[in-house]
Every structure is written in C-alpha cells, then in structure tokens.
Amino acid sequence: MAGIVECVPNVSEGRRAGAIDRIAGAISSVPGVRLLDRTSDLDHNRSVFTFAGPPDAVEAAAHALVDAALREIDLRGHTGAHPRIGAVDVVPFVPLAGTTMDECVALARRFGRAVAQRHGLPVYFYARAATRPDRVRLPDIRKPQFEGLQDLMSTTHVPDAGPPRVHPTAGAMVTGARPPLIAFNIELATTDVAVAKRIAKAIRESSGGLPQVQALGFELTDPPRAQVSMNILDTSVTSLPTVWHEVERRAHDAGVEVLRGELIGLMPLDAAVQVTADALRLEGLTRDRIVEAHFIDQAG
C-alpha cells in the first residue's frame, strides 16, 4: 500500500502531563511518522493525537501508542466529562494522498485484531470499517461507557475481536476508517449546562438537527462555563460556519452569549476556506484562490 494515512487516536488521559508526553513520545519514536498535533483537555480528561505517514509506519505508531497508553492509564480511577469505554478509546484511520478508504478499512481491521490478540482487549470496528449497521456511529458503541460495558457484552456489545470481557484497567477499544472530520467546541457564557445540552440535542443529526453533526453538552471548570462539543463528520454537507451560526442563534434565543470556539486537533484546508468565505462574505472563494494550496496540490 502506497500513499499517506492519517491517524487520530483519542486516549482517556488529559491531566497528567508526563503520561501524555510519554504517549506522544511513543508515536514520534516510529521512523517515517510525523506527529502533527496533540491536544489535551482537563475537564474531558482526554487527549487527541494526530499523526500521519506511510501506512505501515502509521500502523506501527498506532501500536506504539496503545502499548504506551495501556502502561499509563487505569480507567478504574478515571473521571472526566467525555464519554469513553477505553484507555485508548478510539483509533480512526483516515485516507490522505494516494490511499483509499478501502485500504484504511483493511488497515483498521488488521490493527484491531492485532491489538485484541496482543493485549487481550475487546475491540469494536466502527464507521466505514463497521461489520454491522448498529456499529457505524461511535456514540452507539460508546453509550454504556467503561462502567456499563460488561453488562452488555453478551448481547448488544459482543466484540468484533478479542475476548467478551472488559479489560480491568484498559476497558475496550474502538477502531475504524473514516473521512476527515472536525472536532469543534463552542463555549457559552453560562454555567447552566442544561442550555448547552438543549442546544446539542437540537443541532445533532440523531435528534433531527443538522446532518453529519454529532453534539453533546458539557459542564466545564476553571472558569465554570457550559460547552457544546461537536464532531462535524462532513463539512461538504454541513459547514463549520453553519454550525457556528446555529449554535449562536440558539444560545441568543436562550439569552446566552457565545464565548469562543475551540478546535480539537486539525481541520482540512477546504473547511478553513469555508470559514474565511463566510466571515468575509466572499463569494466564490475556493482553495484555488489560496497561494499555498497550489503547492500542496502539486505535492499531493
């Protein structure tokens, strides 16, 4: 397999800097892989790493991340605002230049089976790598969380690979293949988390809201505020500006101001162009109007 693959694992540790550094170091130690971004959140108690490279190197780096994270994280003492079922909660593979989605599906399934065998960890396949329709959506798999997963392992949550029992310290893992997404949060000038939860329910696709949008409402600290946390699965369907305006409108209807947006990890260039076009009301702004994009496209 030639080309470039991106991997965006989410791990259940966002507070212990030393542990996060060691996990990042495990990724960076693999030749041929570039660690592009790392983002940690204290309230969510979660870190997101973004790395890319040739498929074989990315697969090796994903295994190195799992090895390091399982040494560092014990879910029996883990608390945080974000739902999770595993120390290494989700490992998505994203096709970039010269790589197809089918190749990333095969990579994810191979990686997941190897992790299951190596660590005795139950593994689920999601998104394009899902083997059944009720496992396409990550929230459906993660719904019972670490604490409730074992009770469902003989019914709705029989693993796709690995043993039908939750690992005592690492829980379970989800892996799959998907297109690029944007993880984006909007913080509100209120401590009333019910406002954020109402907005999240109104805008997420599963509740009849914006297509290709997942959303939850969270309570944050230091300083206290509410947050609408989102995954935008396809910005060609629902753009980042559309999401921002909808959250802002609903917040204003509730008498609440928007404080700021927060990008988790990286975003595609075309999505950034959409934001610029919206903010400046530029009609017809496309990536071919961006100087650097011409060199990026040539390199790809």
Active-site pick, 82, 119, 157, 167: 82
**Distance of alpha carbon 10 from the chain centroid:** 6
166: which 2 tokens?
């939750």
- Taking the CA of residue 31 as centre, how many other CA atoms within 13 Å lie in the half-sphere pointing to its CB? 0
Phi-psi category of residue 260: left, alpha or beta, with phi > 0 → left and psi -120 to 50 → alpha: beta
Which distant-in-sequence residues (6+ apart) come within 8 Å of 64 by Cβ? Answer: 26, 27, 29, 30
Cβ(49)–Cβ(9) below 8 Å: yes
Task: Report angle CA 283, 289, 291 to the nearest 5 degrees.
Answer: 150
* Pairing state between β 46-53 and 10-11: antiparallel
Q: Is 45 left (phi over 0), alpha (psi -120 to 50) or beta?
A: left
167 assigned to active site: no
- Please identify every residue annotated as catalytic: 82
